A and B are shown apart, each in its own frame.
Chain A
Amino acid sequence: MKRENPFLTAAALLAGLLFLFPVLYSIWISLQTVDAYYAGQASFTLGNYARAVNDFNFGRYLVNSLLVSGLVTLLGISLATMAAFAFARFTFPGGNFLFGATVATLMIPSHISLIPNYLTLAKAGLLDTYAGLILPAVSNGFAAFFLRQYIRGIPKSLDEAAYMDGATPLKVLWRIIVPLSRPAIASMALYIFMTEWNSYIWPLIAVGKEDLFTLQIGLARLYRINPGEGLVDWPLVMAASTVTILPVLLGFLLVERHLVRGITLGAVK
Protein backbone atom coordinates (compact mmCIF):
# COMPACT_ATOMS: atom_id res chain seq x y z
CA MET A 1 0.00 0.00 0.00
CA LYS A 2 1.06 3.50 -0.88
CA ARG A 3 1.18 5.93 2.03
CA GLU A 4 -1.45 8.64 1.89
CA ASN A 5 -0.56 12.28 2.02
CA PRO A 6 -2.50 13.55 5.07
CA PHE A 7 -2.52 17.08 3.66
CA LEU A 8 -4.27 15.90 0.49
CA THR A 9 -6.75 13.90 2.51
CA ALA A 10 -7.60 16.94 4.61
CA ALA A 11 -7.96 19.07 1.48
CA ALA A 12 -10.28 16.49 -0.10
CA LEU A 13 -12.36 16.38 3.05
CA LEU A 14 -12.64 20.14 3.03
CA ALA A 15 -13.59 20.24 -0.65
CA GLY A 16 -16.21 17.54 -0.09
CA LEU A 17 -17.72 19.43 2.83
CA LEU A 18 -17.77 22.61 0.76
CA PHE A 19 -19.57 20.83 -2.07
CA LEU A 20 -22.18 19.51 0.36
CA PHE A 21 -22.30 22.78 2.29
CA PRO A 22 -25.89 23.75 1.34
CA VAL A 23 -27.23 20.45 2.70
CA LEU A 24 -25.04 20.51 5.80
CA TYR A 25 -26.06 24.08 6.49
CA SER A 26 -29.73 23.17 6.09
CA ILE A 27 -29.27 20.66 8.90
CA TRP A 28 -27.71 23.43 11.00
CA ILE A 29 -30.70 25.70 10.28
CA SER A 30 -33.05 22.92 11.39
CA LEU A 31 -31.46 23.13 14.84
CA GLN A 32 -32.04 26.90 15.23
CA THR A 33 -35.00 28.56 16.89
CA VAL A 34 -36.98 30.68 14.45
CA ASP A 35 -36.35 33.90 16.35
CA ALA A 36 -32.60 33.31 16.57
CA TYR A 37 -32.48 32.36 12.89
CA TYR A 38 -34.11 35.58 11.75
CA ALA A 39 -32.07 37.63 14.24
CA GLY A 40 -28.92 36.11 12.77
CA GLN A 41 -27.85 34.53 16.06
CA ALA A 42 -26.75 30.97 16.81
CA SER A 43 -28.94 28.77 19.00
CA PHE A 44 -29.75 25.13 19.54
CA THR A 45 -33.12 23.41 19.70
CA LEU A 46 -34.76 20.17 18.66
CA GLY A 47 -38.11 21.96 18.76
CA ASN A 48 -38.43 22.18 14.98
CA TYR A 49 -38.37 18.40 14.76
CA ALA A 50 -41.00 18.20 17.48
CA ARG A 51 -43.15 20.70 15.58
CA ALA A 52 -42.69 18.84 12.28
CA VAL A 53 -43.84 15.61 13.94
CA ASN A 54 -46.54 16.97 16.28
CA ASP A 55 -48.07 19.84 14.34
CA PHE A 56 -47.37 18.78 10.76
CA ASN A 57 -47.76 15.01 10.87
CA PHE A 58 -44.24 14.16 9.67
CA GLY A 59 -44.14 11.07 11.87
CA ARG A 60 -47.02 9.69 9.86
CA TYR A 61 -45.33 10.64 6.57
CA LEU A 62 -42.17 8.88 7.69
CA VAL A 63 -44.13 5.70 8.46
CA ASN A 64 -45.90 5.97 5.09
CA SER A 65 -42.62 6.36 3.24
CA LEU A 66 -41.07 3.40 5.05
CA LEU A 67 -44.15 1.26 4.42
CA VAL A 68 -44.53 2.12 0.75
CA SER A 69 -40.81 1.93 -0.09
CA GLY A 70 -40.44 -1.25 1.94
CA LEU A 71 -43.32 -3.04 0.23
CA VAL A 72 -42.33 -1.85 -3.24
CA THR A 73 -38.84 -3.18 -2.58
CA LEU A 74 -40.05 -6.51 -1.25
CA LEU A 75 -42.53 -7.11 -4.07
CA GLY A 76 -40.26 -5.65 -6.72
CA ILE A 77 -37.23 -7.72 -5.81
CA SER A 78 -39.31 -10.93 -5.53
CA LEU A 79 -40.87 -10.50 -8.94
CA ALA A 80 -37.56 -9.53 -10.53
CA THR A 81 -35.69 -12.47 -9.00
CA MET A 82 -38.27 -15.03 -10.10
CA ALA A 83 -38.33 -13.68 -13.64
CA ALA A 84 -34.53 -13.39 -13.75
CA PHE A 85 -34.21 -17.04 -12.70
CA ALA A 86 -36.56 -18.10 -15.50
CA PHE A 87 -34.77 -15.95 -18.10
CA ALA A 88 -31.33 -17.16 -17.01
CA ARG A 89 -32.01 -20.88 -16.66
CA PHE A 90 -34.90 -21.92 -18.92
CA THR A 91 -35.30 -21.84 -22.67
CA PHE A 92 -38.98 -21.64 -23.46
CA PRO A 93 -41.10 -20.50 -26.42
CA GLY A 94 -41.61 -16.75 -26.11
CA GLY A 95 -38.86 -16.45 -23.52
CA ASN A 96 -36.66 -14.20 -25.65
CA PHE A 97 -39.62 -12.05 -26.57
CA LEU A 98 -40.67 -11.60 -22.94
CA PHE A 99 -37.10 -10.84 -21.91
CA GLY A 100 -36.91 -8.27 -24.71
CA ALA A 101 -40.16 -6.72 -23.52
CA THR A 102 -38.74 -6.53 -19.99
CA VAL A 103 -35.52 -4.84 -21.06
CA ALA A 104 -37.40 -2.47 -23.38
CA THR A 105 -39.21 -0.98 -20.37
CA LEU A 106 -35.87 0.70 -19.54
CA MET A 107 -36.32 2.85 -22.63
CA ILE A 108 -39.97 3.69 -22.06
CA PRO A 109 -40.32 7.10 -20.46
CA SER A 110 -42.52 6.90 -17.38
CA HIS A 111 -44.55 10.04 -18.09
CA ILE A 112 -46.58 8.22 -20.76
CA SER A 113 -48.22 6.04 -18.11
CA LEU A 114 -49.20 8.82 -15.67
CA ILE A 115 -52.68 9.58 -17.01
CA PRO A 116 -53.57 5.94 -17.90
CA ASN A 117 -52.40 4.62 -14.53
CA TYR A 118 -54.41 7.30 -12.78
CA LEU A 119 -57.50 6.18 -14.71
CA THR A 120 -56.83 2.48 -14.13
CA LEU A 121 -56.46 2.95 -10.40
CA ALA A 122 -59.48 5.25 -10.23
CA LYS A 123 -61.54 2.55 -11.93
CA ALA A 124 -60.23 -0.05 -9.47
CA GLY A 125 -61.05 2.28 -6.57
CA LEU A 126 -57.40 2.34 -5.54
CA LEU A 127 -56.64 6.04 -5.66
CA ASP A 128 -55.91 7.34 -2.18
CA THR A 129 -54.83 3.93 -0.91
CA TYR A 130 -51.46 2.37 -0.13
CA ALA A 131 -52.05 -0.12 -2.93
CA GLY A 132 -52.42 2.75 -5.38
CA LEU A 133 -49.05 4.10 -4.33
CA ILE A 134 -47.34 0.72 -4.47
CA LEU A 135 -48.68 -1.27 -7.43
CA PRO A 136 -47.52 0.93 -10.35
CA ALA A 137 -43.98 0.99 -8.91
CA VAL A 138 -43.56 -2.76 -8.44
CA SER A 139 -42.27 -3.89 -11.83
CA ASN A 140 -38.61 -3.12 -12.33
CA GLY A 141 -37.11 -4.11 -15.67
CA PHE A 142 -33.64 -3.00 -14.70
CA ALA A 143 -33.53 -5.25 -11.63
CA ALA A 144 -34.79 -8.23 -13.65
CA PHE A 145 -32.16 -7.61 -16.33
CA PHE A 146 -29.36 -7.09 -13.84
CA LEU A 147 -30.22 -10.22 -11.82
CA ARG A 148 -30.55 -12.34 -14.94
CA GLN A 149 -26.99 -11.38 -15.95
CA TYR A 150 -25.79 -12.21 -12.46
CA ILE A 151 -27.55 -15.58 -12.26
CA ARG A 152 -26.08 -16.60 -15.60
CA GLY A 153 -22.67 -16.35 -13.94
CA ILE A 154 -23.57 -19.00 -11.36
CA PRO A 155 -22.36 -22.48 -12.46
CA LYS A 156 -25.28 -24.44 -13.86
CA SER A 157 -23.86 -27.69 -12.47
CA LEU A 158 -25.10 -26.60 -9.04
CA ASP A 159 -28.71 -26.52 -10.28
CA GLU A 160 -28.31 -29.82 -12.07
CA ALA A 161 -26.95 -31.58 -9.02
CA ALA A 162 -29.96 -30.37 -7.05
CA TYR A 163 -32.40 -31.51 -9.75
CA MET A 164 -30.70 -34.92 -9.65
CA ASP A 165 -31.52 -35.05 -5.98
CA GLY A 166 -35.16 -34.42 -6.88
CA ALA A 167 -35.41 -30.73 -6.05
CA THR A 168 -38.18 -28.67 -7.63
CA PRO A 169 -37.38 -25.46 -9.57
CA LEU A 170 -38.71 -23.36 -6.69
CA LYS A 171 -36.40 -25.16 -4.30
CA VAL A 172 -33.43 -24.58 -6.62
CA LEU A 173 -34.34 -20.91 -6.78
CA TRP A 174 -34.71 -20.58 -3.03
CA ARG A 175 -31.87 -22.83 -1.89
CA ILE A 176 -29.20 -22.22 -4.52
CA ILE A 177 -29.82 -19.18 -6.70
CA VAL A 178 -31.03 -16.74 -4.06
CA PRO A 179 -28.24 -17.41 -1.53
CA LEU A 180 -25.57 -17.22 -4.24
CA SER A 181 -27.01 -13.99 -5.69
CA ARG A 182 -27.20 -12.25 -2.36
CA PRO A 183 -24.83 -9.34 -3.22
CA ALA A 184 -26.68 -8.64 -6.47
CA ILE A 185 -30.10 -8.90 -4.82
CA ALA A 186 -28.94 -6.60 -2.04
CA SER A 187 -27.70 -3.89 -4.38
CA MET A 188 -30.87 -4.07 -6.48
CA ALA A 189 -33.09 -3.97 -3.38
CA LEU A 190 -31.21 -0.90 -2.24
CA TYR A 191 -31.56 0.70 -5.66
CA ILE A 192 -35.33 0.05 -5.71
CA PHE A 193 -35.75 1.34 -2.17
CA MET A 194 -33.91 4.59 -2.84
CA THR A 195 -35.73 5.20 -6.10
CA GLU A 196 -39.09 4.65 -4.44
CA TRP A 197 -38.18 6.66 -1.35
CA ASN A 198 -37.41 9.67 -3.54
CA SER A 199 -40.31 9.15 -5.93
CA TYR A 200 -42.43 12.27 -6.29
CA ILE A 201 -44.67 12.66 -9.33
CA TRP A 202 -46.71 9.49 -8.86
CA PRO A 203 -47.53 9.99 -5.15
CA LEU A 204 -48.33 13.61 -6.01
CA ILE A 205 -50.95 12.41 -8.48
CA ALA A 206 -52.26 9.28 -6.77
CA VAL A 207 -52.83 10.63 -3.28
CA GLY A 208 -54.94 13.54 -2.06
CA LYS A 209 -55.65 12.33 1.45
CA GLU A 210 -53.20 13.88 3.85
CA ASP A 211 -53.00 10.66 5.90
CA LEU A 212 -51.34 8.89 2.98
CA PHE A 213 -48.71 11.50 2.14
CA THR A 214 -45.15 10.28 1.80
CA LEU A 215 -42.30 12.43 3.10
CA GLN A 216 -41.62 13.89 -0.34
CA ILE A 217 -45.21 15.06 -0.76
CA GLY A 218 -45.42 16.31 2.82
CA LEU A 219 -42.18 18.26 2.50
CA ALA A 220 -43.11 19.86 -0.82
CA ARG A 221 -46.44 20.93 0.63
CA LEU A 222 -44.98 22.19 3.88
CA TYR A 223 -42.59 24.37 1.89
CA ARG A 224 -45.43 25.61 -0.30
CA ILE A 225 -47.94 26.45 2.44
CA ASN A 226 -45.29 28.55 4.07
CA PRO A 227 -46.24 28.38 7.77
CA GLY A 228 -45.10 31.61 9.39
CA GLU A 229 -46.86 34.81 8.39
CA GLY A 230 -45.33 35.71 5.08
CA LEU A 231 -41.80 34.66 5.98
CA VAL A 232 -40.88 31.06 5.30
CA ASP A 233 -40.36 29.20 8.56
CA TRP A 234 -36.99 27.90 7.35
CA PRO A 235 -35.97 26.10 10.56
CA LEU A 236 -39.19 24.06 10.45
CA VAL A 237 -38.89 23.37 6.71
CA MET A 238 -35.26 22.32 7.11
CA ALA A 239 -36.16 19.98 9.98
CA ALA A 240 -38.72 18.31 7.71
CA SER A 241 -36.16 18.18 4.90
CA THR A 242 -33.60 16.57 7.20
CA VAL A 243 -36.12 13.90 8.22
CA THR A 244 -36.68 13.26 4.50
CA ILE A 245 -32.98 12.96 3.67
CA LEU A 246 -31.61 11.22 6.73
CA PRO A 247 -32.74 7.59 6.36
CA VAL A 248 -31.35 7.34 2.84
CA LEU A 249 -28.23 9.23 3.86
CA LEU A 250 -27.51 6.75 6.64
CA GLY A 251 -28.20 3.82 4.34
CA PHE A 252 -25.90 5.37 1.77
CA LEU A 253 -23.02 5.76 4.18
CA LEU A 254 -23.37 2.11 5.17
CA VAL A 255 -23.50 0.62 1.70
CA GLU A 256 -22.09 3.18 -0.72
CA ARG A 257 -19.77 0.70 -2.35
CA HIS A 258 -22.52 -1.82 -3.21
CA LEU A 259 -24.73 0.87 -4.63
CA VAL A 260 -22.01 2.34 -6.80
CA ARG A 261 -21.09 -1.11 -8.05
CA GLY A 262 -24.70 -1.85 -8.99
CA ILE A 263 -25.13 1.41 -10.84
CA THR A 264 -21.88 1.22 -12.80
CA LEU A 265 -22.40 -2.42 -13.78
CA GLY A 266 -25.79 -1.52 -15.15
CA ALA A 267 -24.38 1.37 -17.12
CA VAL A 268 -21.30 -0.29 -18.55
CA LYS A 269 -23.13 -3.45 -19.61
Chain B
Amino acid sequence: MMTRIFTPYLLVAPLMIFIAVFTYIPIVMSLDLSFRQWNFLSPDMPFVGLRNYEQLIASSDFWNSLRVTALFTVLSVPLRLALAVFAASYLVRESAPSRILRGALFLPAVTSTVSIGVVFSWVFSTDYGMVNALLAHVGLAKVQWLQDPHLALWVLIFVNTWKQLGYDVVIYIAGLQAIPQDLYDAASIDGGKRLHVFRRVTFPLVMPTTYFLLVISVIEAFQVFTIVNVMTKGGPAGATDMLVNLLFEIGFVLFDIGRGSALAVLLFVLLVFLAFLKSRIIGRKVHYEA
Protein backbone atom coordinates (compact mmCIF):
# COMPACT_ATOMS: atom_id res chain seq x y z
CA MET B 1 0.00 0.00 0.00
CA MET B 2 1.08 3.55 -0.47
CA THR B 3 1.19 4.43 3.21
CA ARG B 4 4.49 5.49 4.61
CA ILE B 5 6.43 3.01 6.64
CA PHE B 6 6.21 4.79 9.97
CA THR B 7 2.45 5.34 10.03
CA PRO B 8 1.66 2.30 12.23
CA TYR B 9 4.45 3.26 14.64
CA LEU B 10 3.02 6.74 15.05
CA LEU B 11 -0.40 5.24 15.71
CA VAL B 12 0.75 2.86 18.43
CA ALA B 13 3.36 5.17 19.97
CA PRO B 14 1.13 7.08 22.42
CA LEU B 15 -0.37 3.91 23.91
CA MET B 16 3.05 2.24 24.02
CA ILE B 17 4.62 5.16 25.86
CA PHE B 18 1.93 5.08 28.54
CA ILE B 19 2.15 1.30 28.88
CA ALA B 20 5.92 1.46 29.16
CA VAL B 21 6.03 4.27 31.71
CA PHE B 22 3.16 3.17 33.95
CA THR B 23 3.10 -0.62 33.55
CA TYR B 24 6.38 -2.17 32.40
CA ILE B 25 9.08 0.12 33.78
CA PRO B 26 7.40 -0.02 37.25
CA ILE B 27 8.01 -3.79 37.35
CA VAL B 28 11.75 -3.20 36.91
CA MET B 29 11.66 -0.31 39.38
CA SER B 30 9.89 -2.45 41.98
CA LEU B 31 12.49 -5.16 41.61
CA ASP B 32 15.30 -2.61 42.02
CA LEU B 33 13.66 -0.90 45.01
CA SER B 34 13.06 -4.23 46.71
CA PHE B 35 16.84 -4.59 47.12
CA ARG B 36 17.23 -1.16 48.68
CA GLN B 37 16.49 0.55 51.93
CA TRP B 38 14.60 3.80 51.57
CA ASN B 39 11.96 5.82 53.40
CA PHE B 40 11.13 8.16 50.51
CA LEU B 41 12.76 11.13 52.25
CA SER B 42 16.42 10.28 52.84
CA PRO B 43 18.78 11.40 50.06
CA ASP B 44 20.42 8.02 49.55
CA MET B 45 18.97 4.56 49.07
CA PRO B 46 21.61 1.94 49.95
CA PHE B 47 21.63 -1.52 48.39
CA VAL B 48 20.81 -4.10 51.06
CA GLY B 49 20.58 -7.29 49.05
CA LEU B 50 17.84 -9.66 50.14
CA ARG B 51 17.32 -8.07 53.54
CA ASN B 52 13.82 -6.74 52.77
CA TYR B 53 12.71 -10.20 51.68
CA GLU B 54 14.25 -11.78 54.77
CA GLN B 55 12.53 -9.31 57.08
CA LEU B 56 9.25 -9.88 55.32
CA ILE B 57 9.46 -13.65 55.55
CA ALA B 58 10.49 -13.42 59.19
CA SER B 59 7.52 -11.20 60.07
CA SER B 60 4.30 -12.67 61.39
CA ASP B 61 2.33 -9.92 59.59
CA PHE B 62 3.33 -11.32 56.22
CA TRP B 63 2.30 -14.88 57.06
CA ASN B 64 -0.90 -13.65 58.64
CA SER B 65 -1.76 -11.71 55.46
CA LEU B 66 -0.94 -14.66 53.27
CA ARG B 67 -3.14 -16.91 55.42
CA VAL B 68 -6.04 -14.43 55.50
CA THR B 69 -5.84 -13.83 51.75
CA ALA B 70 -5.69 -17.56 50.99
CA LEU B 71 -8.61 -18.19 53.34
CA PHE B 72 -10.65 -15.41 51.76
CA THR B 73 -9.92 -16.84 48.31
CA VAL B 74 -10.62 -20.46 49.15
CA LEU B 75 -13.89 -19.59 50.86
CA SER B 76 -15.25 -16.94 48.52
CA VAL B 77 -14.40 -18.20 45.03
CA PRO B 78 -16.21 -21.59 45.14
CA LEU B 79 -19.17 -19.91 46.82
CA ARG B 80 -19.42 -17.31 44.07
CA LEU B 81 -19.11 -19.80 41.25
CA ALA B 82 -21.61 -22.26 42.73
CA LEU B 83 -24.22 -19.56 43.27
CA ALA B 84 -23.54 -18.08 39.85
CA VAL B 85 -23.86 -21.29 37.83
CA PHE B 86 -27.06 -22.10 39.70
CA ALA B 87 -28.56 -18.66 39.09
CA ALA B 88 -27.39 -18.59 35.48
CA SER B 89 -29.00 -21.94 34.66
CA TYR B 90 -32.34 -20.38 35.63
CA LEU B 91 -31.74 -16.98 34.06
CA VAL B 92 -30.35 -18.13 30.71
CA ARG B 93 -33.77 -18.08 29.02
CA GLU B 94 -34.91 -14.81 27.47
CA SER B 95 -37.94 -13.57 29.38
CA ALA B 96 -38.99 -10.48 31.28
CA PRO B 97 -38.46 -12.03 34.74
CA SER B 98 -34.99 -13.27 33.87
CA ARG B 99 -34.02 -9.92 32.37
CA ILE B 100 -35.14 -8.15 35.54
CA LEU B 101 -33.19 -10.50 37.79
CA ARG B 102 -30.08 -10.33 35.63
CA GLY B 103 -30.16 -6.55 35.84
CA ALA B 104 -30.60 -6.61 39.61
CA LEU B 105 -27.78 -9.11 40.09
CA PHE B 106 -25.44 -7.22 37.79
CA LEU B 107 -26.02 -3.77 39.25
CA PRO B 108 -23.66 -4.15 42.25
CA ALA B 109 -20.83 -5.18 39.90
CA VAL B 110 -20.78 -1.69 38.38
CA THR B 111 -21.51 0.14 41.63
CA SER B 112 -18.79 1.92 43.57
CA THR B 113 -17.03 -0.48 45.94
CA VAL B 114 -16.56 2.35 48.45
CA SER B 115 -20.32 2.98 48.52
CA ILE B 116 -21.00 -0.72 48.90
CA GLY B 117 -18.47 -0.89 51.72
CA VAL B 118 -20.11 2.04 53.48
CA VAL B 119 -23.64 0.69 52.99
CA PHE B 120 -22.70 -2.75 54.30
CA SER B 121 -20.83 -1.21 57.21
CA TRP B 122 -24.24 0.11 58.16
CA VAL B 123 -25.97 -3.22 57.41
CA PHE B 124 -23.58 -5.00 59.79
CA SER B 125 -23.09 -2.23 62.34
CA THR B 126 -23.66 -3.33 65.91
CA ASP B 127 -26.13 -0.77 67.20
CA TYR B 128 -28.05 0.55 64.21
CA GLY B 129 -27.45 -2.12 61.58
CA MET B 130 -30.09 -3.91 59.57
CA VAL B 131 -28.91 -7.42 60.41
CA ASN B 132 -28.92 -6.87 64.16
CA ALA B 133 -32.33 -5.22 63.91
CA LEU B 134 -33.65 -8.34 62.18
CA LEU B 135 -32.04 -10.52 64.85
CA ALA B 136 -33.64 -8.41 67.56
CA HIS B 137 -37.03 -8.99 65.93
CA VAL B 138 -36.73 -12.71 66.46
CA GLY B 139 -35.38 -12.23 69.95
CA LEU B 140 -31.67 -12.79 69.35
CA ALA B 141 -28.81 -10.80 70.87
CA LYS B 142 -26.72 -8.23 68.98
CA VAL B 143 -23.68 -9.56 67.16
CA GLN B 144 -20.49 -7.52 66.72
CA TRP B 145 -20.06 -8.50 63.08
CA LEU B 146 -17.13 -6.27 62.19
CA GLN B 147 -15.46 -6.18 65.61
CA ASP B 148 -15.26 -9.94 66.11
CA PRO B 149 -12.07 -11.44 64.59
CA HIS B 150 -13.93 -14.67 63.87
CA LEU B 151 -16.73 -12.95 61.94
CA ALA B 152 -15.21 -9.96 60.12
CA LEU B 153 -13.66 -12.00 57.31
CA TRP B 154 -16.98 -13.76 56.73
CA VAL B 155 -18.71 -10.40 56.42
CA LEU B 156 -16.16 -9.34 53.80
CA ILE B 157 -16.68 -12.61 51.93
CA PHE B 158 -20.42 -12.05 51.99
CA VAL B 159 -20.16 -8.48 50.70
CA ASN B 160 -17.64 -9.40 48.02
CA THR B 161 -19.86 -12.26 46.85
CA TRP B 162 -22.89 -9.97 46.77
CA LYS B 163 -20.99 -7.47 44.66
CA GLN B 164 -19.32 -9.85 42.20
CA LEU B 165 -22.05 -12.45 41.75
CA GLY B 166 -23.76 -10.63 38.90
CA TYR B 167 -20.57 -10.51 36.85
CA ASP B 168 -20.11 -14.27 37.22
CA VAL B 169 -23.77 -14.84 36.32
CA VAL B 170 -23.47 -12.75 33.15
CA ILE B 171 -20.38 -14.68 32.06
CA TYR B 172 -22.02 -18.02 32.85
CA ILE B 173 -25.09 -17.04 30.85
CA ALA B 174 -22.87 -16.30 27.86
CA GLY B 175 -21.26 -19.72 28.34
CA LEU B 176 -24.61 -21.48 28.67
CA GLN B 177 -25.99 -19.80 25.58
CA ALA B 178 -23.17 -21.42 23.61
CA ILE B 179 -24.48 -24.90 24.50
CA PRO B 180 -26.56 -26.31 21.62
CA GLN B 181 -30.24 -26.58 22.55
CA ASP B 182 -30.59 -30.09 21.05
CA LEU B 183 -28.41 -31.48 23.84
CA TYR B 184 -31.01 -30.34 26.34
CA ASP B 185 -33.82 -31.65 24.17
CA ALA B 186 -32.13 -35.03 23.92
CA ALA B 187 -31.58 -35.16 27.67
CA SER B 188 -35.19 -34.34 28.46
CA ILE B 189 -36.53 -36.82 25.87
CA ASP B 190 -34.48 -39.42 27.75
CA GLY B 191 -36.61 -38.45 30.72
CA GLY B 192 -33.84 -36.54 32.51
CA LYS B 193 -34.81 -34.87 35.76
CA ARG B 194 -33.78 -31.27 36.14
CA LEU B 195 -30.90 -32.04 38.46
CA HIS B 196 -29.83 -34.90 36.24
CA VAL B 197 -29.76 -32.68 33.15
CA PHE B 198 -27.76 -30.14 35.08
CA ARG B 199 -25.17 -32.69 36.20
CA ARG B 200 -24.84 -34.55 32.91
CA VAL B 201 -25.29 -31.77 30.36
CA THR B 202 -24.95 -28.26 31.77
CA PHE B 203 -22.12 -28.74 34.23
CA PRO B 204 -19.62 -30.51 31.94
CA LEU B 205 -20.34 -28.28 28.97
CA VAL B 206 -19.91 -25.09 30.95
CA MET B 207 -16.50 -26.22 32.24
CA PRO B 208 -14.42 -23.81 30.08
CA THR B 209 -16.39 -20.89 31.52
CA THR B 210 -15.86 -22.25 35.03
CA TYR B 211 -12.11 -22.42 34.52
CA PHE B 212 -12.04 -18.90 33.14
CA LEU B 213 -14.00 -17.52 36.08
CA LEU B 214 -12.07 -19.61 38.58
CA VAL B 215 -8.75 -18.13 37.59
CA ILE B 216 -9.99 -14.56 37.17
CA SER B 217 -11.69 -14.57 40.56
CA VAL B 218 -8.71 -16.14 42.32
CA ILE B 219 -6.42 -13.43 40.93
CA GLU B 220 -8.94 -10.78 41.85
CA ALA B 221 -9.41 -12.19 45.36
CA PHE B 222 -5.67 -11.95 45.93
CA GLN B 223 -5.86 -8.23 45.17
CA VAL B 224 -8.90 -7.25 47.23
CA PHE B 225 -8.24 -3.89 48.86
CA THR B 226 -11.01 -1.31 48.69
CA ILE B 227 -13.58 -3.19 50.71
CA VAL B 228 -10.99 -3.99 53.39
CA ASN B 229 -9.81 -0.40 53.55
CA VAL B 230 -13.35 0.94 53.91
CA MET B 231 -14.91 -1.66 56.20
CA THR B 232 -12.20 -3.00 58.51
CA LYS B 233 -8.78 -1.45 57.80
CA GLY B 234 -7.42 -4.99 58.11
CA GLY B 235 -8.73 -5.40 61.65
CA PRO B 236 -9.86 -6.51 64.11
CA ALA B 237 -6.45 -7.80 65.23
CA GLY B 238 -5.29 -8.45 61.67
CA ALA B 239 -8.20 -10.80 60.95
CA THR B 240 -8.87 -9.19 57.55
CA ASP B 241 -5.36 -7.88 56.79
CA MET B 242 -5.23 -9.00 53.15
CA LEU B 243 -1.97 -8.80 51.18
CA VAL B 244 -2.64 -5.56 49.28
CA ASN B 245 -3.80 -3.94 52.52
CA LEU B 246 -0.47 -4.90 54.10
CA LEU B 247 1.32 -3.54 51.03
CA PHE B 248 -0.54 -0.25 51.42
CA GLU B 249 0.37 -0.06 55.12
CA ILE B 250 4.06 -0.83 54.60
CA GLY B 251 4.46 1.34 51.51
CA PHE B 252 2.23 4.33 52.15
CA VAL B 253 1.73 4.50 55.90
CA LEU B 254 5.17 3.41 57.13
CA PHE B 255 6.84 4.57 53.89
CA ASP B 256 9.17 1.59 53.97
CA ILE B 257 9.64 1.64 50.21
CA GLY B 258 12.10 -1.28 50.11
CA ARG B 259 10.01 -3.72 52.10
CA GLY B 260 6.80 -2.61 50.38
CA SER B 261 8.43 -3.26 47.01
CA ALA B 262 9.63 -6.67 48.16
CA LEU B 263 6.06 -7.56 49.11
CA ALA B 264 4.80 -6.23 45.77
CA VAL B 265 7.33 -8.38 43.92
CA LEU B 266 6.37 -11.51 45.87
CA LEU B 267 2.68 -10.97 45.23
CA PHE B 268 3.44 -10.23 41.58
CA VAL B 269 5.34 -13.49 41.15
CA LEU B 270 2.50 -15.38 42.78
CA LEU B 271 -0.15 -13.79 40.56
CA VAL B 272 1.82 -14.17 37.34
CA PHE B 273 2.26 -17.81 38.26
CA LEU B 274 -1.52 -18.12 38.66
CA ALA B 275 -2.12 -16.31 35.38
CA PHE B 276 0.34 -18.65 33.70
CA LEU B 277 -1.53 -21.59 35.19
CA LYS B 278 -4.67 -20.14 33.65
CA SER B 279 -3.25 -20.02 30.15
CA ARG B 280 -2.01 -23.60 30.59
CA ILE B 281 -5.36 -24.80 31.81
CA ILE B 282 -7.34 -22.88 29.24
CA GLY B 283 -5.02 -24.23 26.57
CA ARG B 284 -5.66 -27.77 27.74
CA LYS B 285 -8.63 -29.96 26.99
CA VAL B 286 -11.36 -28.28 28.94
CA HIS B 287 -13.09 -27.21 25.76
CA TYR B 288 -15.68 -29.38 24.17
CA GLU B 289 -16.30 -29.88 20.49
CA ALA B 290 -19.80 -28.79 19.57
Binding site for B on A (CB under 8 A): 2, 4-5, 8-9, 11-13, 15-17, 19-20, 22-23, 25-26, 29, 38, 78-80, 82-83, 85-87, 90, 92, 95, 98, 101-102, 105, 107-120, 135-136, 138-139, 141, 144, 160, 163, 168-169, 173, 194, 197-198, 200-201, 204-205, 215-216, 219-220, 223, 231-232, 234, 237-238, 241, 244-245, 248-249, 252, 256, 259-260, 263-264, 267-268
Verify B110–A259 contact, CB threshold 8 A: yes
Q: Which residues of A contact B26 (CB under 8 A)?
A: 112-113, 115-117, 120
CB pair B2 A163 closer than 8 Å: yes
Q: Are A249 and B264 in contact (CB under 8 A)?
A: no
When the two chains form their complex, are residues A241 and B118 in contact, meaning their CB atoms are under 8 A apart?
yes
Q: How large is the interface on B (under 10, 10 to 19, 20 to 34, 35 or more residues)?
A: 35 or more
Chain A residues whose CB sits within 8 angstroms of the CB of B198 once the complex forms: none
B114 touches A219 (CB 8 A): yes
State whether A252 touches B110 (Cβ < 8 A): yes
Interface residues of B in 180-209 (CB under 8 A from A): 209
C-alpha spacing A223/B12, complex, angstroms: 43
B239 proximal to A (CB < 8 A): no
Which 6 pairs, one residue from A and one from B, show the smallest C-beta to C-beta distance? A16-B104, A12-B97, A116-B26, A139-B18, A113-B26, A86-B11
Chain B residues, Cβ within 8 Å of A163: 1-3
Residues in B lying within 8 Å of A, measured CB to CB: 1-3, 5, 7-9, 11-12, 14-16, 18-19, 21-27, 29-30, 33, 40, 95-98, 100-108, 110-123, 125, 128, 130, 167, 170-171, 173-175, 178, 209, 212, 216, 219, 222-223, 225-226, 229-230, 244, 247-248, 251-252, 257, 260-261, 264-265, 267-268, 271-272, 275
Write the nearest CB–CB distance from B257 to chain A, whole angstroms. Answer: 6
Other-chain residue from B23, B110, B271 in contact with A113 (beta carbon distance below 8 A): B23
On whether the beta carbons of B97 and A109 are closer than 8 Å, the reply is no
Q: Which residues of B contact A249 (CB under 8 A)?
A: 107, 111
> Which residues of the partner chain A approach B116 to less than 8 Å between Cβ atoms?
23
B15 touches A112 (CB 8 A): no
> Mind listing 16 A-B residue pairs with CB under 8 Å?
A12-B101, A23-B115, A26-B119, A83-B12, A109-B267, A111-B244, A112-B265, A113-B27, A116-B29, A200-B226, A216-B112, A219-B114, A220-B114, A232-B125, A249-B107, A264-B173
B22 touches A135 (CB 8 A): yes
B15 near A79: Cβ-Cβ < 8 Å: yes
Please tell me which one of the listed residues A105, A219, A238, A259 contacts residue B122 in the complex, with CB atoms under 8 A apart.
A238
A107 to B216, CA, bound (A): 10
Task: Check A256/B268 contact, CB under 8 A, given A79-B15, A109-B219, A267-B171.
Answer: no
